[in-house]
A and B are shown apart, each in its own frame.
Chain A
Amino acid sequence: MVENEGAARQEGTAAGIPGQGSVILELSGLRTHFFSREGVVRAVDGVSYHLNRRETLGVVGESGCGKSVTALSILRLIPDPPGRIVEGVIRFEGTDLLTLSEKKMQQIRGNEISMIFQEPMTSLNPVLTIGHQISEAIILHQKLSKSAAMEKSVEMLRLVHIPEAARLVREYPHQLSGGMRQRVMIAMALSCNPKVLIADEPTTALDVTIQAQILELMLELQEKLGTAIILITHDLGVIAETAQRVVVMYAGKKVEEAPVAELFAEPCHPYTLGLMGSIPRMDRDSAESPGGTRLQEIKGIVPSLYDLPPGCIFEPRCQYADDQCRAEYPPLEEKRPGHLAACWHTDRLER
């Protein structure tokens, strides 16, 4: 086991066979800020995490916590102005993406690292056929002819289990249902066989039965193609069922990181603990009447990113907060093996 890991790490630098455990993508100290007339929004404020080959990393947090901006920063898709990556390193297979020219970056985007978005309705072009949109990336990155690219598109659509793929390439996005469109997005994202797939809330707009289909499909394709996935979501249920490791974000910072089973068993940050307590649980709630088990609330609301508290960002909503929390932001520490959290009072949490 230990030997394997050592070998895997070496492979990370050599262009050998990709093995599980070696790091493919690494962010360190990433800061993405937005500059507006009202002030500076620290959307991502010193976030570091890494992604191993063939791994699914879950990134979880509520709206405005910076999880999507982090993903867009990886692909350098932050609109500038008003946004700018002010600090940090994004290392993909050893090269820092932030130092690359735009031309080099275009060879990586959609080819080595690709992304699927939440809204399958708005992320497809309504006036181009499905086949046209999928083959666009194939022609660009793989230098295939138009007809060969179209054939490859049909093949990709079959891969994502779309029936009558040959007919569908000639249709337009509005002729498809939401679930089908998301399958098309996945086909498009995987068409150049990327090493990293960033999925930003891929199932949030879908019904549960369709969500189950799409998640199953993503995991099946990961198995088949060996893609590493960053899965961004607000749904802890989705995380629990798909991710191997989890990063929890709050107000632009990473507050906790752990392997999935460990995180759910022993959350070390009060925010994570609060999140878990605030979701209704079908599998546990056996009371005869509603409210028999009361949901835990996290009091208050997420602080404005213009005006963050001076100490710990979670302090105004935290039931364990004291003077130390108000004065100083807690360091990200390894609380248990492989389990990081930024909290002064992990030992006091009542799980």
Chain B
Amino acid sequence: MTDRTAPSRTAPGSSAPGSSAPGSSAPGSSAPSAGAPPPLLEVTGLKKYFPIRKGVFSRLAGQVHAVDGVDLTIAKGETLGLVGESGCGKSTTGKVLLKLIEPTAGTIRVNGEDITHLSKTAMRPYRRQMQIIFQDPYSSLNPRMSAGSIVGEPLTIHKIAKGREKQQRVAALFERVGLRPDQMTKYPHEFSGGQRQRIGIARALALNPSLIVGDEPVSALDVSIQAQVINLLIDLQEEFGISYLFIAHDLAVVEHISHRVAVMYLGRIVEVTGRSALFTNPWHPYTEALLSAVPIPDPSAKRGKRVILKGDVPSPINPPSGCHFHTRCLYVQEQCKVETPQLRELSPGHQVACHFPLGSGTG
């Protein structure tokens, strides 16, 4: 029905820095070649460990390896989907790369500039470019502020507009996300879940960002409302050329909205590829299991043999040795228990971190 074949969408950006392995993050090793513009966002060797303290003297009792060496790139106008089960570190990744949480190690580059160690004030101009939409439209809006002031607040903070001009810009934002400008004086509790999520989107759009991190932005919504919000996000990308990091656990939603998809398991990225390749030709056993677990809403659909994983995700406090997935993997070998597989590019734009990738002929 709607044909979307703008060149920027069909061939989004440059491919990921294929050779740089997680963990071995030599800064600059993944610098883009001269001539090609650097990707909008480039993250290398990103780690975030949360300390666990115990006792009277807050002795360090352990660390939660929430993000354990993540490499990502996002091109302008591109959507990168980040999927994984709860506790795999996908939300932490989103917050760390916005520097809402300080990373333990790794570098974050925006348009080629290293922002990893910038101070709060030096971060300001970058904050304008990078916004976030949260999962829960009930707790992410201040109940004591009117919808209009929630959306207008970023304009005030960044001293972009005030008074009548601010009101006009907020009204325009309201219209753009499908709310009526006369709803600006209402408070969050007067809106439905889907409408609240639209307020969150309008707030994120207020500063004309180039990147929006969506942390499960549609997970709390009913399906009919979810479709409205997904369509809105796609339209906004079309119109403003925004890049998204779309974090979600729902594979069908991620597949629908993303150009490329990264699959995360216990703090590491196990597979990155373009949308169609991931869903037709997964290489990592975890991706295969995830895909096969998703129920298909069609009783007549033929599916291959269903892969059902045994057990639960191990604790990120003591992640398994070698490949984190080896405790649940159906194809586990001795090598997997000792040696950590690195993310490697086996075909253009398709990376996998597995010693014995499925169906690629190299196993």
- Known contacts A280-B230, A285-B256, A298-B227; decide if A208 and B294 are in contact (CB<8 Å): yes
> Using Cβ atoms and an 8 Å threshold, which residues of chain B touch A277?
227
Q: Looking at the complex, which one of A180, A276, A278 makes contact with B226 (CB distance below 8 Å)?
A: A278
A257-288 interface code vs B (CB 8 A; 1 in, 0 out): 00011001100000000111111111101111
**Cβ of A105 under 8 Å from chain B:** no
In the complex, the answer to whether B300 meets A180 with C-beta atoms within 8 Å is no
Chain B hits for A289, CB < 8 A: 4-5, 9-10, 12, 259, 275
Is B308 positioned at the interface, with any CB of A under 8 Å from its CB? yes
From A179, A277, A280, A281, residue with most partner B Cβ within 10 Å:
A280
Chain A interface residue count, CB cutoff 8 Å, equals: 53
Report chain A residues within 8 Å CB of B36.
Answer: none
Given contacts A283-B296, A297-B224, contact A288 B252 (CB under 8 A): no
What's the Cα separation between A237 and B292 when bound, in Å? 12
Interface residues of B in 46-68 (CB under 8 A from A): none
Give complex CA distance A261, B319 in Å: 43
Q: Does A128 contact B (CB under 8 A)?
A: no
Grouping DSSP codes into helix (H, G, I), strand (E, B) and loop, the A interface class, with mixed when no group exceeds half, is loop
Interface size band for B: 35 or more
Taking CB atoms and an 8 Å cut-off, the chain B residues in 83-124 that contact chain A are 85-86
Count the A-B residue pairs with Cβ separation under 8 angstroms: how many? Answer: 155
B228 interfacial contact with A, CB 8 Å: yes
Q: Which B residue's beta carbon lies closest to that of A246?
A: B299
Set of chain A residues within 8 Å of B257, measured between Cβ atoms: 280, 290-291
A286–B280 Cα distance when bound, in Å, is 9
Complex Cα gap A295–B224 (Å): 10
In-complex Cβ contact of B256 among A212, A280, A296 (8 A)? A280
Contact flag A208-B249 (CB < 8 Å), given A282-B291, A291-B2, A296-B227: yes
Docked-complex contact A240 and B79, CB < 8 angstroms: no
A142 within 8 Å of B (CB atoms): no
Q: Is A241 an interface residue (CB 8 A)?
A: yes
Q: How far is the CB of B4 from chain A (nearest CB, A)?
A: 5
Q: How far is the CB of B80 from chain A (nearest CB, A)?
A: 11
User: Nearest B residue to A262 by beta-carbon distance?
Assistant: B299
Nearest CB of B to A246, in Å: 10
Residues of B within 8 A of A199 (CB): none
| Known interface pairs A207-B86, A290-B275; A279-B297 also in contact (CB < 8 Å) | yes
Are B275 and A62 neighbours in the complex by a CB distance under 8 Å? no
Residue of B nearest to A295 (CB): B227
Q: How far is the CA of A292 from the CA of B309 in the complex (A)?
A: 32
| Given contacts A261-B299, A301-B192, A209 and B290 within 8 Å (CB-CB) | yes
Show the binding face of A for B, using Cβ within 8 Å. 62-63, 177, 179-180, 207-213, 215-216, 234-241, 260-261, 264-265, 274-283, 285-299, 301-302
Going nearest first, the 3 A-B pairs with the smallest beta carbon separation are A237-B295, A280-B256, A278-B227
Report 13 cross-chain contacts, Cβ distance below 8 Å, ordered by A residue: A208-B85, A208-B251, A208-B290, A212-B306, A216-B308, A235-B297, A236-B223, A236-B297, A261-B300, A275-B223, A276-B297, A290-B256, A292-B3
